[in-house]
Chain A
Amino acid sequence: MVDTPAGGAWKGRLMLGLMLAPAVLWLFALIVLPHVDLALLSFRERLAPRQYGASLAQYRTFFGEPLYWHVFVRTAVMSAIATALTLLFAFPVAWTIAKLTRGRTSALLFVVCLIPFWVSETVRTLGWMILLRESGVLPQLLAHLGVTDVPVELLYHDATILVGLVYTSLLFMVVPLVNSFESLDNSLIEAAYDLGGNAGSILREIVIPHATPGITAGCIVVFMLTLGNYLTPNLLGGKNSQWFTEQIYTQFITRFNWEQGAAFGFLLLALSTAMVWVGLKASGQRFGDVMRRA
């Protein structure tokens, strides 16, 4: 429809221009320019009302104030743990869907695993809150069964945050894993077995090398989403959550200190981008392929 010969008539150029306009408007007005603006914002300092000067003060504050970088590191470590746990839990399920079941059973199992993710994260978090809070279902049950003397508070621990994060992330791991397991030819596993391989060596030498693109894609997406999550750590962790997105929110919305908030935002973006980059480098993949797969 828009195939115009090179150097073609003005009509073709106009057509191309019209088709480019929405894409360019979208990417520049909503992505590129706002981020350039955010960068500029993070490199300035308020000298007097409506008077600003270029400075690194916002970043100095970040490194000078232990609370800030402590929360930053904590968020990164917790996200890495959550990603590893998600991979661990999703692996057997994805294997079952891809290899152990067939036809309708496999399709049904897959759909059943996807269902919770059609439901809003808010609803899922509400479920965990009702289950885990002191007056909630599990603590009452544990007290009733005599495991604990009195109902214990299961909310507001790091483990609670991890449960919530893993729960929210499972889908993004199961789908790429299933896809990469399905493309693995069973005869390779059979051959390895005939040649004397056991479960451990087959997993290490056949399955994981083959599934690396899927594993990387899943891990990158999960890490990124976890790092940027706000709702789950905030509600399940309460005051103890100390998640970096909360710091950004506090600076931007509560304290109205946009310069500081912008610097925090950039640091989070840098960490997230760095992780994506490391993941891609480590597995030797291209960004476009991974994103399309995920």
Chain B
Amino acid sequence: MIPSLPTPRWLRATTLLYLGAFLLFLFLPLITVGVFAFNDAPYPAPPWKGFTLDWFVGNEPAGRTGLFGDEELLSSIWTSFVVACWVTGLSVAVGTLNAFLMERARFRGKEALSMLMLVPLVIPGVILGISILAFASRIAEFASDVAGIELEFLRPGLPLVVLGQFSYIAAIATITISARLKRFDRTLEEAALNLGASRAAVLRTITLPYLRPAMIGSAAIAFLMSFENFNTTLMLVGADAPLTIMMYGRMREGATPVLNAVSLFLMVASALLALTLMRRSDRRAE
């Protein structure tokens, strides 16, 4: 139970054992992926045939394409990166505006609007994807039938992927940033105004700096969620596949360990992102 109550020895032992098993369960798949990125064999499977960097740098004579030589894979990483940047920028901008709207403005229907903002979070990603796909196609068809204009960006492709991911990631950014703005002490703004600062100056020097941790935090989450998104993207993707879609396609075919290499790269990248964020929040806490 809790430390202050007598706990039988067997229960304590079982707890420790369970915890160990749980952590093993959590990390086994990740460790496996990492280890087989270095196996000197054409498939990511045992037995261990020795250490190699072929799946990163490639090996022409053996006919192995490494991560750094795999144009298709590299360009899909770039595609994901560009999409994630757009989604992050849009979500944080709209999320910040929404935070001010919900915490500061007064208007009719605010309660309903704040409920509506949570709705994207309870719609399965696949359905967000198909609804946006169908709606965008309808507008595109309408435009081409009535006005004879081809709205290329409304056909499956990266602009739609950005919109699809943004449609629910914006809700997360809104919640995170609003929560921080709610805790803001407004007397700080009043003091600055009394001291002669303009509204714009107050916003720039007091309110936005206060919101910065929430904005950075939600930017990181938005970036990560966009980079990893699969469901919505699957429905909206056109010719240029982002990384998750590309990896999915290859996993179904039974791919070489180059997928392990790119996975390891992803793990290291997200670990670095997580560490940077934690350091930031640590420094702030001190």
Binding site for B on A (CB under 8 A): 1-4, 6, 16, 19-20, 22-23, 26-27, 30-35, 37-38, 41, 89, 92-93, 96, 99-100, 111-113, 115-116, 118-131, 133, 135-137, 140, 167, 170, 186, 189-190, 193, 199, 202, 224, 227-231, 235, 245, 248-249, 252-253, 258, 261-262, 265, 268-269, 272-273, 276, 287-288, 291-292
Q: B266 — which chain A residues lie within 8 A by C-beta? A: 119-120, 123
Question: Given A115-B274, A228-B231, is A22 in contact with B130 using a C-beta cutoff of 8 Å?
Answer: no
Which of B160-177 touch A at CB < 8 Å?
A: 163-164, 166-167, 170, 175
**Nearest B-chain residue to A230, judged by Cβ:** B231
Q: Residues of B within 8 Å of A, CB-based: how many? A: 93
Check if B130 sits within 8 Å of A31, measured CB to CB: no
Taking a contact as CB atoms under 8 Å apart, the answer to whether B25 and A130 are in contact is no
Q: Which residue, A1, A6, A133, has most C-beta atoms of chain B within 10 A?
A: A1
B32 at the interface (CB under 8 A from A): yes
Tell whether A230 pairs with B230 under 8 Å between CB atoms, given A130-B32, A193-B1.
yes
| Complex: chain A residue closest to B11, CB-CB | A199
Give the residue among B93, B104, B199, B202 with the most A Cβ atoms within 10 A: B104
- Residues on B facing A (Cβ under 8 Å): 1-5, 15, 18-19, 22-23, 25-33, 36, 43-47, 93-94, 97-98, 100-101, 104-107, 113-128, 130-136, 138, 163-164, 166-167, 170, 175, 179, 199, 202-203, 207, 224, 227-228, 230-231, 234-235, 243-244, 247-248, 251-252, 259-260, 263, 266-267, 270-271, 273-274, 278
Cross-chain contact A1 with B104 (CB below 8 angstroms): yes
Q: Are A136 and B46 neighbours in the complex by a CB distance under 8 Å?
A: yes
A135-B45 CB under 8 A given contacts A92-B15, A186-B2, A199-B1: yes
Interface of A is mostly: helix
Instruction: List, in ascending order, chain B residues with CB within 8 A of A288's CB.
Output: 114-115, 118
Is the Cβ of A287 less than 8 Å from the Cβ of B118? Answer: yes
The residue in A37, A121, A126, A190 that gathers the most chain B C-beta atoms within 10 A of its C-beta is A126
Cβ of B175: which chain A residues have Cβ within 8 Å of it?
291-292
